[in-house]
Structure 1
Amino acid sequence: MKKIINDPATVVVDALHGMAAAHPDLLRVQTDPAVVVRADAAVHGKVAVISGGGSGHEPLHGGFVGMGMLDAACPGPVFTSPTPDQVQAAVTATDGGAGALLLVKNYTGDVLNFETAAELAAAEGTEVRTVLIDDDVAVKDSLYTAGRRGVGGTVLVEKIVGAAAQRGDDLDACEALARRVVAGVRSMGVALTACTVPHVGEPSFTLADDEMEIGIGIHGEPGRQRVPMEPADGIVRHLLDPILEDLPFVEGDRVLLFTNSMGGTPLVELYIAHGIAERLLAERGITVERRLVGPYITSLEMQGMSLTVLRLDDELVELWDAPVHTAALRWGV
């Protein structure tokens, strides 16, 4: 294992200290319990939008804390859910009197711990709502979930709902919007290599040089099938076809296309894949109106990629375009 770390046991805390040093204008960090909070929290009268999950998926979630997106993020150990006290601390730090919306990827530990925290916060007088994100079309259940996993669609939910909260939407409206985005977004990923969790010290699975895993999860969970390696055209079809069939997306739809690196795939390859996906969508009469390309929800150093497609309407376009200023996303400011 070759990694730029000191001690596998302190990877997350060490990274949080570095994040605080890099972005003091955007966020503040506490490490006991570990929470990343926007620098100006709590914002009076604003719904607090909070998410989190295991570390190792950076920039998700801490990189999306800031104006127009998340008010706080709860980073668990690598590939391990945050604890209820982390989530409760995030709610307390961001409570501006308008309630809190928890955006939770559908992994069993995340769901249980966020639900526990929501109950604790409610007992202290804060109104809390929870929305599960389950956009992965690859499998119905996995090692970590009951039902579909939350993957790339999480980034889009956090941006759009964060914009709504920033403009002053109330808790009911933010919750309804989150559920609408979740209903209209689908994702699928592929792995070319495995990643190595620091405290484990060896790859989470093995792929031959001529194999790829279609439908992989962001923690290295098994996918739909292991198949021979193909050129980019074939890889993109393996991902895009199940996405389009699942909702289903149809001719005339307006969409946002998100082409994501799993951590080890360079932009030159992502752009190849993105161009292919745009062409295939155009051939089906589906219009790509907004785009995001880059490493935004990763799996440590895994080589691979995911595609996410979100059905758009005028309001979702407006909220996507709204100003955002975080460590990982910034436009309009």
Structure 2
Amino acid sequence: MKKFMNEVSKVEDEMILGLVKAYPQYLKKLDCGNVVIRSKRKENKVALISGGGSGHEPAHAGYVGTGMLDAAVAGAVFTSPTPDQIYEGIKAIANDAGVLMVIKNYTGDVMNFEMAAEMAETDGILVKQVVVNDDVAVKDSLYTVGRRGVAGTVFVHKIAGAAAERGEDIHKVQAVAQKVIDNVRTMGAAIRPCTVPAAGKPGFELADDEMEVGIGIHGEPGTHREKIKPANEIVDLLLDKILSDIDYTGGEVAVMINGSGATPLMELFIINNRVSDVLKEKGISVYATFVGEYMTSIEMEGFSISLLKLDEELKSLLDERADTPAFKA
């Protein structure tokens, strides 16, 4: 294993410290573990908290700031944060308007966030939640019951965060977040695995001519493994599954081409070129496109495609101002 790090046991701590030192105008760290909150607290508006295992950077701490999250909690690499950490994050951002938890559908995340919410509610804090399950690849996986929460979570952060910034009440913010979840679908593929520092070796193996289709963001298996194909054919394979899950015909969509950590922008733009052409052929209008690394898997070489079906409300919220270390609008 070759990585730019010091001690394996300090990877997550030093990563968060370095992030906060890079962006003190946006972020500050609590003293109770790797919990990051806004440097300037939002008052009298719904606060949003999200998080999960480290290794998905810039998710989730990179989305703390104006128009998105108020707090993010980072566990060990690919490991859910503890209920105590999440509870401290909720307390740090809570106000009378309440707190919305945005949870990716992984068993540990759901369990620990819900335990933290119960702890916060005993303190009189109003807490609501949504669970993101945008991955169309597999129904159940090593980490989930039901579909996994993957890169579409970033759209939930953006749009629900905009609704909160507008001053909507917690029931409205929760409803808007759920609308995004109901209308976003994602699928990905990978050609090289990642290495969790504590493991010291890749999480799986692929031959030089193989790819994993429907890969998860922790390197968990997808639908199948097959010989690698030209980029256009891979895009068609993924889009067919996404487009068969929601009828996007005649509508407008936001597109996210998300890199898994080691896929060059050159290749992501090649992928987007095909996505754009296919959607146009199918009569689906692209309202906005996001290409880059939004929810990674350390240094996995792969990508995912997310499509969000938009209406006028979602377009308006997507266009609202956001100012965070990793996402600006």
Q: TM-score, normalised by structure 2?
A: 0.99
Q: Which residue of 1 aligns with 2:82?
A: 83
Task: Check conservation: 1:185, 1:311, Cα contact below 8 A.
Answer: yes
Q: For the aligned residues, what is the CA RMSD?
A: 0.7
Match in the other structure for 1:112:
111
The residue aligned with 2:277 is 279
Residue 99 of structure 2 corresponds to residue 100 of structure 1: yes
**Displacement of 1:90:** 0.8
- Tell whether the 8 Å contact from 1:13 to 1:31 is kept in structure 2 after alignment: no
Distance 1:6 1:185 in 2: 38
Counterpart of 1:315? 313
Q: Give the total of aligned pairs.
A: 329
1:242-279 alpha-carbon deviations (Å, 9 max, x no partner):
00101232x21110010010000010000000010010
**Alpha-carbon shift at residue 239 of structure 1 (Å):** 1.1
Match of 1:67, SS state, is coil
Structure 1 unpaired stretches of 5+: none
Partner of 1:142: 141
Rounded Cα–Cα distance in structure 2 between residues aligned with 1:213 and 1:230: 11
Q: How does 1:170-319 map to 2 (within 5 A)?
A: 170-249=169-248, 251-319=249-317
Matches within 5 A, 1:2-13: 2-13=2-13
Corresponding residue number in structure 1 for 2:160: 161
- Match for 1:261: what amino acid? G
Tell me, yes or no, if structure 1 residue 328 matches structure 2 residue 306.
no
Whole-Å separation in 1 of the counterparts to 2:96 and 2:76: 30
SS in 1 for 2:294: coil
- Tell me, what secondary structure is at the counterpart of 1:190? strand
Cα shift at 1:314: 1.1
Query: Equivalents in 2 of 1:239, 1:197: separation in Å?
Result: 26
Distance between the aligned counterparts of 1:31 and 1:22, measured in 2? 18
2:19 — aligned with what? Answer: 19
Mapped to 2, the partners of 1:293 and 1:116 lie a distance apart of 35
Q: Distance in 2 between matches of 1:225 and 1:234?
A: 15
Following the alignment from structure 1 to structure 2, what is the Cα–Cα distance between the partners of residues 290 and 3?
35
Match of 1:252, as an amino acid?
A: G
Q: How far off is 1:289 after superposition? A: 0.6
Any runs of at least 4 consecutive aligned residues in structure 1 with deviations exceeding 6 A, and if so which?
Answer: none
- 1 CA distance for matches of 2:97 and 2:247? 36
Does structure 2 conserve the Cα–Cα contact (< 8 Å) formed by 1:33 and 1:85?
no
How far has the Cα of 1:295 moved from its partner?
0.5
Determine the C-alpha separation between the residues in 1 that align with 2:158 and 2:78.
Answer: 22
2:18 maps to a residue whose letter is: G
Question: Match of 2:2, as an amino acid?
Answer: K
Superposed displacement of residue 318, structure 1: 1.0
Deviation for aligned residue 1:58: 0.3
> Identity across aligned pairs (percent)?
52
Q: Please state how far the C-alpha of 1:34 moved relative to its aligned partner.
A: 1.8
Partner amino acid, structure 1, of 2:253? V
Cα distance in 2 between the residues matched to 1:31 and 1:293:
34
Contact 1:196 1:202 in 2 (8 A): yes
In 2, distance between residues paired with 1:79 and 1:18?
19
Q: Give me the whole-angstrom Cα distance separating, in 2, the residues matched to 1:288 and 1:65.
A: 27
